[in-house]
Chain A
Amino acid sequence: MIKRLSGLVVVIFGVLLLTFLLIHVVPGDPVEVMLGDSATQADRSQLRIELGLERPLAQQFAIYLTKITHGDFGQSIHTKTPIANLIKTHYPATLKLATLALLIALTIGIPLGIYAALKADQWQDLVVTLVSVRLSAMPAFWLGPILMLVFAVYFGWFPVSGMESNTSIILPALTLGLGLSAILTRMTRTSLLEVLNDDYIRTARAKGLSESTVILRHALRAALLPIITIVGLQMGSLLAGTVITETIFSWDGIGRLLVESIEKRDYPVTQACVLVVAFSYVLVNQVTDLVYRLADPRVKG
Chain B
Amino acid sequence: MHLNPDLIDLHAILSVPSEHYWLGADDLGRSLLARLLRGVEVSFLVAITVTTVTMCIGVLVGVIAGFYGGKVDWLLMQVTDIFLAFPGILLAIAFAAVLGPGIINLMIALCLTGWVSYARLTRGQTLSLRNRQHVQASESLGAKVPRLIAFHILPLLTSILVVEATYSIASVIIAEASLSFLGLGIQAPNASWGAMLRDGVRYMLVAPHYVLVVGFSLMSLILAINLGGDYLRAALNVQADA
Contacts and interface: CB of A to CB of B under 8 A. Distances in A.
Contacts of B218: 139, 142
Contacts of B39: none
Interface stretch (B45-53, B142-150, B204-212): B204-212
Interface in B198-223: 198, 200-201, 204-205, 208, 211-212, 215, 218-219, 222-223
**Interface centre among B83, B85, B87, by most A CB within 10 Å?**
B87
A62 to B, nearest CB: 19
Interface stretch (A11-19, A51-59, A88-96, A102-110): A11-19
Given A7-B81, A25-B99, A141 B181 contact: yes
A274 B184 contact: no
Contacts of A237: 87-88
B197 A281 contact: no
Contacts of A240: 87-90, 93
B208 A278 contact: no
Given A146-B215, A274-B86, A244 B97 contact: no
A244 B204 contact: no
B126 interface: no
A297 to B, nearest CB: 22
A74 interface: no
Interface stretch (A39-47, A166-174, A195-203, A262-270): A262-270
A243 B90 contact: yes
A68 interface: no
A133 interface: yes
B88 A241 contact: yes
A278 B219 contact: no
Contacts of B212: 146, 149
B90 A278 contact: yes
B226 interface: yes
Contacts of A15: 82, 85-86
B140 to A, nearest CB: 33
Contacts of B198: 141
Interface string A227-265: 000000001111111011001100000000011001100
A139 B174 contact: yes
B183 A263 contact: yes
A22 interface: yes
Contacts, number: 130
Nearest to A30: B98
A26 B99 CA distance: 5
B87 A138 contact: no
A230 to B, nearest CB: 11
Interface residues of A, number: 52
Contact of A23 (B82, B85, B98, B181): B98
A120 interface: no
B177 interface: yes
B36 to A, nearest CB: 14
Given A139-B218, A258-B93, A262-B97, A134 B78 contact: no
Given A277-B87, A281-B85, A244 B226 contact: no
B72 interface: no
A239 B174 contact: no
B85 A14 contact: yes
Nearest to A136: B226
A153 interface: yes
A141 B100 contact: no
A278 B223 contact: no
Contacts of B215: 141-142, 145-146
B91 A274 contact: yes
B204 A148 contact: yes
Contacts of A12: 85
A12 B84 CA distance: 11
Given A14-B85, A139-B218, A145 B201 contact: yes
A243 B200 contact: no
Contacts of A118: none
Contacts of B90: 239-240, 243, 274, 277-278
A7 B85 CA distance: 12
Interface of B: 78-79, 81-83, 85-91, 93-95, 97-100, 174, 177-178, 181-184, 194, 197-198, 200-201, 204-205, 208, 211-212, 215, 218-219, 222-223, 226
Given A138-B219, A240-B89, 8 more contacts: A22-B98, A139-B222, A141-B177, A149-B204, A240-B93, A262-B184, A270-B94, A274-B94
12 contacts: A11-B81, A22-B95, A22-B98, A142-B197, A142-B215, A235-B87, A238-B87, A240-B88, A243-B90, A262-B97, A277-B90, A278-B90
